[in-house]
Structure 1
């Protein structure tokens, strides 16, 4: 499935909750894998240890969930961060409940995420217990994957798909691409794609992304049906085709 709007809510310990969340995220797309032995991470007896759960996405970038405080202290949040070309990018807080709880307390903790993907693109919105996606969220990212061309954009207060994309493949690692060349469309009775234009370019190269379309003034968060295909509006200008 390439369109998932999931609320992960578990009554148990913090380890139970994080394991459940990791399982749901990795199950949502097989390009996402968990690098961390979660049982071992929570078994660390160093009182100053900060629990960190690392996910790899298509061998192109990583997502970190970092506990807000050391393991022996009470907390109600994790920080989420993207690591691009071994550089930590902006981070945001994900709150899993409204009151402080220690790691071993039995409580209901909740994270939310939305994932929209196809063969070439992955977009994820992350939200804490009090978020209703896609209307409100705490962290978002979008990445594009093609042979020898991989780019990623992420953001907290910014919409990732309107931000700078960073290239992660070995040949051109670190190159910056920007969104450009708005796609025209007809807004009559049905939305109709008129022409697919490149979504990203840098100073030298224009790249035509497959199954991602740059539009003008669509309603973010909606699913559009165009020629029997489903598209999700990541933002007010960008559609990503939902893989059937």
Structure 2
């Protein structure tokens, strides 16, 4: 399945919840793997230890889920952060409870996440326990994967969707190069939607690469699903459609 809007909620300890979240996230797309032994991470006897769970996405970048405070202190929050080319990027806080709890407390904890993907593209949105996706989110990511061409963009602002942010290349040959996307259609066609069969990546104002299964379109409502010619598309922003793989 390449469209998942998931609320991960479990009544148990914090470790139970994080293991459930990790299982749901890695099950959502086989390109996402968990690098951390979660049992060992929660068994750390150092009272100052900050629990950190690391996910790898297609050997392109990593996602860190970091407990807001040390293991011996109560919290209601984890921070989520992207690591691109071994550099930690800005983070955002994800609340899982309305009140602080210790790791061993039995309570119902919840995160929400959304994943839209196809053969080349992975888009993820993460939100608090009390937010409804895709209307509200705290952190979002978009990556594109092709042989010898891997890029990722991220945003920790509701005002900036990753698809409109700068993309950072992560493959060895051109690591660190910066790309942007551009919309070739900037007008409204009312209820009619026209699709340009690729979305160009721009470097120094020159289109250098077309992303497959990521489409330019006339203005659409972000967060909506469109069915066009029997194909499903998710509008990640007002001018970008991600083809949903059946």
Same fold (TM over 0.5): yes
TM-score with structure 2 length normalisation? Answer: 0.95
**For the Cα contact (< 8 Å) 2:14–2:105, is it kept in 1?**
yes
**For the Cα contact (< 8 Å) 2:55–2:63, is it kept in 1?**
yes
Note if 1:172 corresponds to 2:174: yes
Instruction: Tell me the equivalent position of 1:208.
Output: 210
| Aligned-CA RMSD value | 1.5
**For the Cα contact (< 8 Å) 1:148–1:169, is it kept in 2?**
yes
Instruction: Tell me the equivalent position of 2:197.
Output: 196
Give a deviation string over 1:89-113, Cα, whole Å, max 9, x none.
Answer: 1110000011010000000000000
9-18 vs 208-217, greater mean Cα deviation: 208-217
Give a deviation string over 1:119-151, Cα, whole Å, max 9, x none.
Answer: 000000000101100000110010000001110
Instruction: Tell me the equivalent position of 2:24.
Output: 24
Instruction: Tell me the equivalent position of 1:163.
Output: 165
Which one of the candidate residues 226, 229, 232 is aligned to 1:227? 229
SS in 1 for 2:17: helix
Relative to 1, partners in 2 of residues 1:185 and 1:213: Cα closer, same or farther, differing over 3 Å? farther
**For the Cα contact (< 8 Å) 2:220–2:235, is it kept in 1?**
yes
What are the ranges of 5 or more consecutive residues in structure 2 without an aligned counterpart?
A: none
**For the Cα contact (< 8 Å) 1:142–1:153, is it kept in 2?**
yes
Instruction: Tell me the equivalent position of 2:64.
Output: 64
User: Structure 2: how far apart are the matches of 1:139 and 1:88?
Assistant: 14
Instruction: Tell me the equivalent position of 1:113.
Output: 113
149-158 vs 21-30, greater mean Cα deviation: 149-158
What are the ranges of 5 or more consecutive residues in structure 1 without an aligned counterpart?
A: none
TM-score with structure 1 length normalisation? Answer: 0.96
Instruction: Tell me the equivalent position of 1:144.
Output: 144
Note if 1:94 corresponds to 2:94: yes
1:226, distance to aligned residue in structure 2 (A): 1.3
Relative to 1, partners in 2 of residues 1:227 and 1:188: Cα closer, same or farther, differing over 3 Å? farther
User: Structure 2: how far apart are the matches of 1:210 and 1:183?
Assistant: 17
User: Structure 2: how far apart are the matches of 1:150 and 1:42?
Assistant: 33
Note if 1:128 corresponds to 2:128: yes
**For the Cα contact (< 8 Å) 1:218–1:233, is it kept in 2?**
yes
1:236, distance to aligned residue in structure 2 (A): 1.1
**For the Cα contact (< 8 Å) 1:145–1:151, is it kept in 2?**
yes
184-193 vs 80-89, greater mean Cα deviation: 184-193
* Number of corresponding residues: 243
